[in-house]
Amino acid sequence: MNIEMIEAAAKRIDGHARRTPLLTSPFVDEIAGRRVFVKPEALQHTGSFKFRGAWSAVSALTDNALKAGVIAFSSGNHAQGVALAAREHGTSAVIVMPADAPQMKIENTRALGAEVVLYDRATEDRDEIGARLATERGLTLIKPFDEPLVIAGQGTVGLEIAEQAAELGANAREVLVCCGGGGLTSGIALALEAKAPELRVRPVEPENFDDVTRSLEAGQIKRNKSLSGSICDAIITPQPGDVTFPILKRLCGSGLVVPEEDCLRAMAVAFARLKVVLEPGGAIALAAALYHGDEIEGDDVIAVASGGNVDAEVFQMALAKYGNDV
Amino acid sequence: MNIEMIEAAAKRIDGHARRTPLLTSPFVDEIAGRRVFVKPEALQHTGSFKFRGAWSAVSALTDNALKAGVIAFSSGNHAQGVALAAREHGTSAVIVMPADAPQMKIENTRALGAEVVLYDRATEDRDEIGARLATERGLTLIKPFDEPLVIAGQGTVGLEIAEQAAELGANAREVLVCCGGGGLTSGIALALEAKAPELRVRPVEPENFDDVTRSLEAGQIKRNKSLSGSICDAIITPQPGDVTFPILKRLCGSGLVVPEEDCLRAMAVAFARLKVVLEPGGAIALAAALYHGDEIEGDDVIAVASGGNVDAEVFQMALAKYGNDV
């Protein structure tokens, strides 16, 4: 993995992925006690940054591989990204999804033209299912994070942050990134290493699902004890990846661990002050900026808001709890 | 009013107002039956396009006038736009607001540094209060829409649409605009006349508050019968302005009149598909694109989503009603 791969991905996605802005609000700054620059990847096609990595990977396929089609396993956001990227490349996508994924994500993935195969998170192994289908049908597997082409696509978020932070005069030292398997986090870290080395990435995770934070502390890969029971479904993965972890270890600051309740509060803040819809996992870096400022360095801070694919019920709950308290 | 005034305003707001993107979603297109390009001014500073006109007017003041400060009447979006524009110019703003305005809007306006003067709608005349304060303190009144500098600022939305529609290959003939007093609508119409004459503006209004539509039909200014009882509070004004109406009459197509319920549905669609928070009045042009397509011409259509300053309760109601039905 190197910066040239990210720059090549940026060329491939140019005109296809959206260049999201860096948003600010004086009200957000007041809560955080510093200026906060929010990169709202919820506004990306399919509602999350995952479209970048998916496009990066699909657009790099050979003609024959493209013709045969792609396969992915995903709880939702990667699924939609791959489905749309495949459709826009004129090929087919099979998506292996947990049966308990948010209904909206399953329906959206189907509506984007993909064939959805459901599995039981507790009793079935998605890797095994994915590998079998890929072999049977000659499909190319687009991994959700532990794949250099995908990391390169997500890294384009970092290229944009480097440019936009300079344009806006952000005096930040840290970029907070919602972290699951580490594809987005490692991609941004690599991009910033080359383009804005004064900025350091801090992975942000939910309480009890802090595999990356513990892995960074230990200097070796640690697993989550559980993979269910979090509202931050988009960023719950068993452990950091074999490709992503060495990058995280080399480039990132320590992890930030945030209670889920803070994600709901941050969703209400993004609603009231930025007018952007965030899902719980997509709000966790903003939550860290808002409510855990004493663990952050720098006059300003940058937070990536990675996605907005949230069911209406969960969003209503966040507003009912915190909508009048921001 | 001419295009040079809008281009001059664009220079003044450059680097201060946000250049909002043009968003699309295959799901939105499917509902509408054509491609829909949405200009989300909810993502503008202070959550609505009003910041553009406010900045345009405040930034054009003489040094002495700027030093003395500005005054505006508004219970909503114009108030916040003027308050922030004044603060960023290092001057003071007095905002005359009805005492029964939502507490949160009063607090937001104060939080943006403005002096809020409350009046009793039943017993006091806001024009008299405003005129007295303006005279006593030498303040410049920033009108909400019937003011060329304000119209010029709102017209910068039209300049951006002309550029972005061409970049994205939109094959549209009409631009749907949420319409109150006509500042945004007339500004966009003037910009498009010069920069994209193939695009025609269609004002969109709520049922029973269709003063612009009836005025355009009659060829002369008609008033609304009532000024209360609409959830589209941001776009309810007594009648089109003396400056705006001749522009609307010369350049716009016929008005579109949309039931308020369609605004709530469009808010749920913007939540689920665009990840943008819209207020009812700010969603009405999108509602027209989604549910009144038979009254629209062109393969594609452009809809301006003018603002997102909505109470959490109203947003929850929209999601409770239509959140699972988009």
Last residue of a domain, one of A87, A109, A141: A141
Q: How far apart are CA B76 and CA B102, in angstroms?
A: 9
Q: How far apart are CA B91 and CA A216, in angstroms?
A: 49
A50-58 helix and A77-88 helix, angle to the nearest 10 degrees? 40
Using 50, 70 and 90 to split pLDDT, how confident is the model at A244?
very high
Same domain assignment for residues A192 and A95: no
Same domain assignment for residues A57 and A42: no
Same domain assignment for residues A225 and A311: yes
pLDDT at A286: 98
Using 50, 70 and 90 to split pLDDT, how confident is the model at A146?
very high
pLDDT at A235: 87
First to last CA, chain B: 41
pLDDT at A75: 72
Say what the ipTM of the complex is: 0.95
Same domain assignment for residues A107 and A159: no
Q: Which are the contacts of B87, defined by CB distance < 8 A and separation ≥ 6?
A: B93, B112, B113, B114
Tell me whether residues B47 and A275 touch, CB distance under 8 A.
yes
Average pLDDT over residues B266-277: 98
User: Which residues in chain A have Cβ-Cβ distances shorter than 8 Å to B324?
Assistant: 312
Structure tokens at A132: 């079998």
Instruction: Mark residue A120 as left, alpha or beta (left: phi above 0; alpha: psi -120 to 50; beta: remaining).
Output: beta
Which helix (DSSP H) or strand (DSSP E) does residue B265 occupy?
helix B260-269
Range of the domain at B111: 51-141
- CA-closest candidate to residue B263, choices B227, B295, B292, B228: B292
Cα dihedral across residues B35, B208, B186, B68: positive or negative: negative
Q: How far apart are CA B144 and CA B50, in angstroms?
A: 8
Residues B305-317 pLDDT 10s? 999 999 999 999 9
Same domain assignment for residues B223 and B180: yes
- CA-closest candidate to residue A184, choices A37, A12, A48: A48
Average pLDDT over residues B77-101: 94
DSSP A24-45: --HHHHHHHTSEEEEEEGGGSG
pLDDT at B151: 98
Q: How far apart are CA B277 and CA B267, in angstroms?
A: 7
Last residue of a domain, one of A116, A141, A166: A141
Residues A70-110 pLDDT 10s? 999 887 899 999 999 999 999 999 999 988 887 878 888 99
Q: Indicate the number of domains in chain A.
A: 2
Using 50, 70 and 90 to split pLDDT, how confident is the model at A227?
confident
Structure tokens at A256: 């930030």
Same domain assignment for residues A129 and A237: no
Structure tokens at B4: 């040079």
Using 50, 70 and 90 to split pLDDT, how confident is the model at A226?
confident
* A42, A313, A319: residue with CB nearest B275: A42
Q: Chain A interface, mutation test: which of B275, B278, B306, B313, most A Cβ atoms within 10 Å?
A: B275
Please state, for a pLDDT cut of 90, what percent of chain A lies above it. 85
Same domain assignment for residues B45 and B55: no
Q: Which are the contacts of A142, defined by CB distance < 8 A and separation ≥ 6?
A: A54, A57, A58, A70, A71, A72, A78, A82, A150
Last residue of a domain, one of B98, B117, B141: B141
* For A307, nearest residue in chain B (alpha carbons): B275
Q: Are A129 and A109 contacting, i.e. CB atoms less than 8 angstroms apart?
A: no
Same domain assignment for residues B10 and B134: no
Same domain assignment for residues B277 and B223: yes
Same domain assignment for residues A228 and A125: no
Average pLDDT over residues A183-204: 98
Same domain assignment for residues B137 and B153: no
Tell me whether residues A271 and B42 touch, CB distance under 8 A.
no
pLDDT at B226: 85
Same domain assignment for residues B83 and B186: no
